Chain A
Amino acid sequence: MFIVVVGAGRLGLQIAESLTHAGHAVTLLDESRNALESLAGGFSGSRLEGDAAELEALKRSRMEEADVVVAVTEKDSLNLLVAQVARSVFGVPRVVARIYDPQTEEVYRHLDVDIVCPTSLSAQRILGILRDDPGASADQGD
């Protein structure tokens, strides 16, 4: 598969590396050259320096040929822009976006995009741990 990962933060880097190791063709887009260069030597995909908020930069990533786009910059709004452009302009079949704000996540839930909300995920996981711990379940009230 050809996958475009937008955002070379910790999450983007880890996803890009794992996907190339799994044999996929990956392009990683970020506006910071430093971030792109911090990829370990094992990354065999391409690095593209560009502003994800510029349509031309998204075009240069050959997004219209991608099977999957993963939008994981540090900004919710930028991920939402990239995800919607990937779906509506470039017709990418599968799009995943990270959204930190759970309230925003709810607004965009109907969208044809898979949204991952780290806040909600962590909260669920932590509550799950507390539930499994008999010492904490009493305080939780359920």
Chain B
Amino acid sequence: MRRRVLIVGEGRILYFLARAFRARKVEVAVLTPVARDAATLARRMDLLVVHGDPTQPRFLEEAGAGRSTDLVAAAEGDEDNLVVCQIAKKLFGVDRTIALVHDPDYVDVFRQLGVGAVISTTDLLARIVSDRTALEEFENLVPDADGSILVSDVVIGEGDFAAGRPLSELPLPSDCLVGGIVRGKGMVIPRGGSRLEVGDRAILLVTSESESAAIALLKTGPG
């Protein structure tokens, strides 16, 4: 079945979502309870736009929920997004339902209640802001370094010089330190005798002047 996305909700997000799906060659239809949004969309884009309360099954039907493979519920009310996704799935057999929620506490609850995917914009923004803070704190650890110390990572490939060699035998520049080795899902804190294996990610603390020399050494060896 060809993909068809039904976007439900209100506001400018409808237009930009519709445009994004259109750019990916996916058929799009929109259902909105706001008359003005419906009129604007119908004027700006050539697609099926239905004006009606999306929590009432008859409007979902009119917007072609039965022919849709995906539904994105982006209404203002979390309760509307829950009910729209549930009705779309139960009554119209929509494969994949995605709900936006404002209250992050509902992410797990809505999933438990049968919504395919739940996205909390509040959560996303909060996480970005707090990650940013964490990053700034980290940068403060090297206040005198003038930004000249880098954290760089190198994936060790088949045939690389460093593969299988103990760290103590690698003539790395003196201003470079292997601070950690990411192996599978774990992290190894290296000692002199630790070996780098194929597939490892070596985390380097290195000055900007020596970064390329250090990477070249790990990849191709001295020379």
Contacts and interface: CB of A to CB of B under 8 A. Distances in A.
B56 A101 contact: yes
Contacts of A54: 103, 105
Interface in B102-139: 103, 105-106, 109, 112-113
A80 B112 contact: no
Nearest to B106: A55
A78 B109 contact: no
Interface residues of A, number: 19
A86 to B, nearest CB: 11
Interface string A72-97: 00011110110011001100000000
A75 B79 CA distance: 9
Interface in A74-128: 75-78, 80-81, 84-85, 88-89, 101, 103-104, 107-108
A127 B103 CA distance: 43
A77 B57 CA distance: 12
B97 interface: no
A56 interface: yes
Interface in B67-124: 77-80, 82-84, 86-87, 90-91, 103, 105-106, 109, 112-113
A78 B103 contact: no
A77 B80 contact: yes
B55 interface: yes
Interface residues of B, number: 21
A63 B103 CA distance: 18
B58 interface: yes
A88 B113 contact: yes
A80 B109 contact: no
A80 B79 contact: yes
Contacts of B106: 55
Interface of B: 55-58, 77-80, 82-84, 86-87, 90-91, 103, 105-106, 109, 112-113
The 4 closest A-B pairs by CB, nearest first: A55-B105, A81-B79, A77-B83, A77-B79
Interface of A: 53-56, 75-78, 80-81, 84-85, 88-89, 101, 103-104, 107-108
Given A103-B57, A104-B87, 17 more contacts: A56-B105, A77-B55, A77-B77, A77-B79, A77-B83, A78-B79, A80-B82, A80-B83, A81-B78, A84-B113, A88-B109, A88-B112, A104-B83, A107-B86, A107-B87, A107-B91, A108-B86
